A and B are shown apart, each in its own frame.
Chain A
Amino acid sequence: MYPIIVLSVAGILSMFIGAFKLKKVALPAVLLATLAAFGSNLLPQNFNDTPLYSGMLQFDWFSIRYAAVMIAVTLVILILSRRYYRDAAEHLGDIYALFLFSVVGGMIMVGSMNLVMFFVGIEILSIPLYILAASERNNLLSNEAGLKYFLLGSFITVFMLLGIVLVYGTVGSFDFDAINSFVHSYNSSDELPMLFKVGVLLILVAFIFKISAAPFHFWSPDVYQGSPAVIMVFMATVAKTAAFGGAYRFLDACIGPMSDDFSVMFAVLAALTMSIGNLMALRQDSLKRLLAFSSVANAGYLMMGFIGLNEKPTDTTLYYMLVYSIANVIAIAVYLTVKESQGSGSIAGLRGLYQSKPLLTFCLVLAMLSLAGIPPLAGFVGKYAIFVEAIRDGYAWLVVIAAINSVLGIFYYFRVMRAAFEPAEGGPVQVPYVLGYSAVLVMCTLALLVLGIFPNLFFGIW
């Protein structure tokens, strides 16, 4: 709850910083606020096992961990956004404010214990993203991305609202606990009212959309490619973490035992999603679009975590999301550097990186290795843990598909790595120095290693 307050106030402040044209203090202030939010999130007073505000929000262990990951990743993205926003004079304060509001929405979503709050959270998360996607005003692609995202997003929101209405109609309450005891009052989920089941499915559809899983994944490559890189990585990491956290919250706290009904559906969709994501990524030339499809593919792996949810530690998904986020942030940071010097965002534009920026290349390589799931990097551990869980739940066929997909993934991740080592035609390029950029990157990279070797440092993976 504290981080929500801190970040909301910070967001408003940031808007005023922008309005009063105090460009210099914008980023430091926002970073400070984010740090404060991270700290306040870990305060013991923040922990609460009972719902607050008339049963609206619950800041338990689950939401605190998700909030911690979201805020931490946001912090890193904000630091790295310096390179991107160095020259942007206009609306900088507003952009940062939207970042913060979006995180607030994510935290509300993950912490909500009421469908209305849930809906409010998902909208607070999404609406800033619509604007952010279109924030590069002079870029047609960015405009298109924002509009597309908005159109498709609101289309799905309609279904979600319909779902909520149906659930409310059958249960007579928005409260998760009430819905949960409603589900429990039936012996088997077959006896549940049809309208209730349809309602739940429609709500799930919204999640499947948000995490960009098939068949509702079409928005993500277009939107990711069009959006400014910093926004794209934010959508692929923080927003997705929130979506997964929210989905977990809903499946676990709200419909509880019924969630097993959807295991087969999730399994099929997971297989479909990862296959589509990986196959489409094979032939991409733009690094951003490649990462977009890779994000689709990873959503597929992560969806495997929804199977047999009832006796499962939720940490695996969070761990996977965290390491995926870190790797993605690194890749985008490298992309930004390359784009600045080369002007091209294609994979071929990475050529010559090793000659001029060996450290950056090292980070990129480790990030790609982690994404590809090569031990001892954290990406391997995350994948392995998820696969093991799926096998335990009896979905061996899904794991076989996932393993084949991992191999496919290696192909295009390694393509990126190879490009970085090829010599550039024009010789090595010089990239302007930005304070703290490399340091943050190296720290992220080390985090990938440390998390990979000691996965149980923060999470109970095994």
Chain B
Amino acid sequence: MSTRDNPYLLRSGLCVAGLLLAAASFFANDYQLHVMTIIMINIMLAVSLNWVMGYLGQLALANAAIFGIGAYTAAILMAHWPVPFPLAMVASAITGSAVSALVALPALRLKGFFLAIATLTFGVFAHWIFLHGGSITAGASGLAFRRPDFSAFGLEATTGMFLISLVTLTATLWWTSRLVASSFGRCALCISEQEMIAPTLGINVTRHKFKVFLVSGVIAGGSGALFAGLLGLVDPESFNFGQMVLQFMMVVLGGFGSIVGSIVGAVLVTGLIEGLRAFKGLHEIALGVSMLAVILFAPRGLYRLGSSRWAALGEARSGGSALRGMTVVKAATTAETSTRRSVPAATEAPALVVDSVSKQFGGLRAVDAVSFEVKQGSIHGLIGPNGSGKSTMLNLITRTTALDSGRIVMFRQDVSALSGHRTAAMGVGRTFQNLQLVGELTVLENVMLGADSGMQRGSDNIAASSLSSREDTSARIAMESLEFVGMGGFALSKGTELSGGQMRLVEIARALATRPRLLLLDEPAAGLSLNRIDTVRELILKINRELGVTVVLVEHVLNLVLEVSDNITVLSAGKVLASGTPEQVRNDTAVQAAYLGRRASRQPKIHE
């Protein structure tokens, strides 16, 4: 749903535009300054909404209310007390983020349209409070106060507000572009597109959602203060549903998940409104028609409609931090051979103990008192007919699904009650049966999602290091993983451009980048051609032998499992049917019956 902007391009553009605009303030008249300030405020609002909608993928429509609450906070403070404007603005930003966090609460539970309805209602409710707030909000006529005084600097109020808005806007875009080009932005996109896999990459989904809402709220609240300061008056109608829809349109028209798109959308919408102000209803028709047109003919937003030159820039943009990472990688991989961890002795405690675990879905016992152990450093196969509970078992181990009863112990620690991202943080990586790459991210960035998680608990002292060096490290780890699975050449492709088999390898690379001690592979060979299966076989062995990672392999291609596994557990109808070495399992009559019928041959051979 979104693409990322090149921070360097954006920032240099910002500096130039900022200087030009600052110079303009000495030539423009009051009306022009006013409109330009409104445009800048709208850009901030579009960016703020884009964080929640474009990057996090949450259809939340309370932004106008948060903007309004910010504006009223500043207005009330300045009307009653001699609060200096910057202080009022800080207060607005804080209030905005607090309210935004409140709005985030339903976002944790509701999906799509229903979140839209809840947040829209919140917005209309806020408007009602502005309207009926008695002497505090001064009702329909609005709350008037003395505009901030800039005479100390020899500036008119409008010029002063223009310059403050310019500074705030520049700071906002700077900060935001930094966030976008970091793991913060990557994680948001991951939650937006593939919320289910986020915990398995060590992302605390709830906390991250809150963080994004906080960022959005700070920006919207702060913009509210600027708006109040510009007008010297706040009235309910500035923050009604219409205002919300306008912000929504800026994001849709400009493009989801793009800062430059937000700028384009805000300028366009504000321009249309100002230009058509004289004709009743016309700006609504124009905006409605252009929004429909964009949805139908350029669903990714106007920003991406530009010339091929822009498109080329776009590719570099989606590399963003990653492109930089590449050069570092080249240097690093030639200089030092990557350090691999030693293979743990096979005599250590089991990597994973599943102890009579059960899970029921409605009337179906998907997993029924299943117990098995996975030795450290081994490859453990988990097989069984369709619907035997293999994938459910993996989901229980990674805490994607909560278990009903039983115990799961990992590296001697009981993880039965841990949340998904904490389990991942213990060093558990996994891939999924259905391909789960984040389509808007490049292959490298997808793998960097895993690397970020690995770095967080790794020995690398990331807290102290700067953003760019953190990004470089993450890109380096990701690139190593990609090279390891043989997909290094595709680092800058979009996830969606790959074939199914390639995506699988990238998923494995992403899981490896988390530096797992235990890797769970869910049907890595499903739907692959025979020679691809050979690649996967070699890869699994390499992961186990070279990296010393314990592997749990769920797979339908029996020969693959029989060849690589040290031990195998066979599930059938949610119960353990058999377990043992491949040889024992192969000769187990119950297993043969389950797979091939009672009178079938002794040696199941699916692929020869």
**A associates with B:** no
Interface of A with B (CB < 8 Å)?
Answer: none
Q: Which residues of B line the A interface, CB within 8 A?
A: none
